[in-house]
A and B are shown apart, each in its own frame.
Chain A
Amino acid sequence: MEKVIQGKAFVLGDKIDTDQIIPAEHLVYSLSHPEEKKKYGHYAFSGVPLPESGLPMGHIPFIKGENHLSDYSIIIGGGNFGCGSSREHAPFALQVAGVKAVIAESYARIFYRNCVDGGFLIPYEGYEKLNDKIKTGDELEIDLAANSVKNLTTGQEYLLKPLGSVVSIIEAGDLFEYARKTGMLQG
């Protein structure tokens, strides 16, 4: 596990559901085919209405043009991030787009599990609402040992909630690596 995650912030509102993260019409693509899976990165957050895409101003596309990689690698969300469907395609799409971590006020259960058990990205919760304090494009640095995020653009620093009981799965990489490490799976 990386000790520090640095990247640009992409800021979103409350209740970003899985259809906004990856609209259902795109769920037909293979997640294992090396070329086809890039489409998930390309369509990541394409369901977010443009006025709410990249707060506070909005109208900032997460992905530019035909790219599948985003300029932004840390997502700042509000409450109930990832609500809606069970599609693991959602955290997968964010990973393909280059996202390393999400910091939200709270998460929907299945999205949170998928982030952790699939090893796609780190789902942090803040102690306070951060999507009205951090702006899209701010340069952030998450310190995983200290459970904190520093806004390098403004100098502000915020504490994050420790990852809790799932930290052992995150540290192992994913649920399968965790199961091998603990002897539940062989090989």
Chain B
Amino acid sequence: MGMTITEKILAKASGKSKVVPGETIWLSVDVLMTHDVCGPPTIDIWKREFGSSAKIWDKDKLVIFPDHYIFTANSHAIANVAKLREFASEYDLPNYYGPGTDRYKGVCHMALAEEGYNVPGTVLFGTDSHTCTSGAFGMFSTGVGNSDAAFILGTGKIWEKVPESMLFWFDGEIPPYLTAKDMILQIIGDITTDGATYRAMEFAGPGVMSLPMSERMTLTNMAIEAGGMNGIIEADELTEAYVKARTSKPYEIFRSDADAVYQSRYTYDLSKMEPMVAKPHSPDNKDTVRNVQGTRLTKCYIGSCTGGKLEDFIFAARILFGQQVQVPTFIVPASTWVDQQLDVETVNGVTLRDIFKKAGCQIGESSCAACLGGPSDTFGRAQDEEVIISTTNRNFPGRMGSKKSAVYLASALTVAASAVKGVITDPRDVM
């Protein structure tokens, strides 16, 4: 019996020739990533448990991207970043990307890709549920809490239960009115927020492999929204080119065997799919944009690790070119690199930044920003009974700030089209 790509990577990382779903294994971790919300408590637990002789198992494998609460006057948030800075200085950490310096990168999941930490065939753990994003590079990646991260920090090891795999196969090529966000919202709606709990979500087929890396990352990013342990896409020439341009680390490409066993298989035809939304208050509350079009909005938001990548802004700029937004519209680049590209990338000869400014959008600095609400002075945060359409990944009650607000999740195309009309709008109506 064959193995899936996830099983093969976990077998390698646990020093076994074969693993089977349900088996508990101990993994050797290739990269541990943390940030300003979970880094400080992780360090505290590590010091408490390993004592004065606490040693970081491998400094080269620890990566710290402060990204959550960066542009805030909240004194506790500032103290957390200061704690990370002191820790990095005390232990002379090579992979600390401090805010306020030219090393600051923005949202960790985007930065992991840009800085060459996503390497096919490896195992990456992070203190953030969206760590599953890195699976777009043919690797195993998943989120853990502070105690697990502290254990890894001291030992380089962690236990995991080998997941069953689910296969999501996409036929056809993606039409211009659809994005990876529509694909993943469709899946989450179909299988619900716990449809993949403790399972691997493997995305495959010509419709997936024709996507650029940042769109593949949108698929794997939201595996956790269906409860998935990890999302994964096999590496191909595009992946290799992306990785080689950023790191000289060795990589290994794994592929699922033809006779690999899947818990379930889903097949989608991209030519038959519709622009999708997740209605308030759950990512699985799916509907077509058509069915909710005309819903009045108070705010539009394009940002986050799942919806603030360069492709998302190109999608938005195609619609916002020469238009005026009818409701306050917030643009938050996922990374400082994406932010720089707003001045480089053009649509109809105009830079993305100019298109957004002329359309009346507000552009914020790279960070997690209002995707998860954050301190009260966070850029774009939901206030009172707002109705928001957003390219972010969660819309549980209060996720973007106010408990009274209602959030629709959608693609950058749908959000931009809705910004132009002031009501939820199908992108096909303005393209």
A residues lining the B interface (CB < 8 Å): 15, 17, 19-20, 23-25, 27-32, 47-49, 79-80, 83-89, 91, 106-110, 113-114, 117-119, 165, 174-176, 179, 184-185, 187
Contacts and interface: CB of A to CB of B under 8 A. Distances in A.
B398 A23 contact: yes
B194 interface: yes
Contact of A86 (B77, B80, B128, B198): B128
17 contacts: A17-B396, A24-B374, A27-B37, A27-B68, A30-B44, A32-B41, A80-B193, A85-B129, A87-B145, A106-B197, A108-B194, A110-B144, A113-B148, A118-B145, A118-B147, A176-B49, A179-B151
Contact of A175 (B44, B148, B193, B227): B148
A25 B376 contact: yes
Contacts of A86: 38, 126-129, 131, 143-145
Contact of B403 (A47, A88, A110): A47
Interface string B98-130: 000000000000000000000000000011110
Nearest to B376: A25
Most buried by A among B40, B155, B403: B403
Interface string B372-394: 11111000000000000000001
Kindly state the interface size class of chain B when it binds its partner. 35 or more
Contact of B197 (A48, A80, A88, A174): A80
A102 to B, nearest CB: 15
B51 interface: yes
Nearest to A50: B403
Nearest to B227: A108
Interface of B: 24, 37-38, 40-41, 44-45, 48-49, 51, 68-69, 74, 76-77, 79-80, 126-129, 131, 143-148, 151, 154-155, 157, 159, 161, 193-194, 197-198, 227, 229, 282, 372-376, 394, 396-399, 401, 403
Contacts of B194: 79-80, 83, 106, 108
A185 B155 CA distance: 9
Contacts of A113: 144-145, 148
Contacts of A165: 24, 161
A24 B372 CA distance: 6
A32 B44 CA distance: 7
A20 B397 contact: yes
A19 B37 contact: no
B396 A31 contact: no
Contact of B373 (A25, A106, A187): A25
B302 to A, nearest CB: 20
B105 to A, nearest CB: 20
A88 B227 contact: no
B227 A80 contact: yes
- Enumerate the 7 nearest inter-chain pairs by beta-carbon distance, A residue then B residue, closest first: A88-B145, A28-B76, A114-B145, A118-B147, A86-B143, A80-B194, A88-B146
Contacts of B147: 88, 114, 117-119, 174-176
Contact of B69 (A28, A83, A185): A28
B373 A85 contact: no
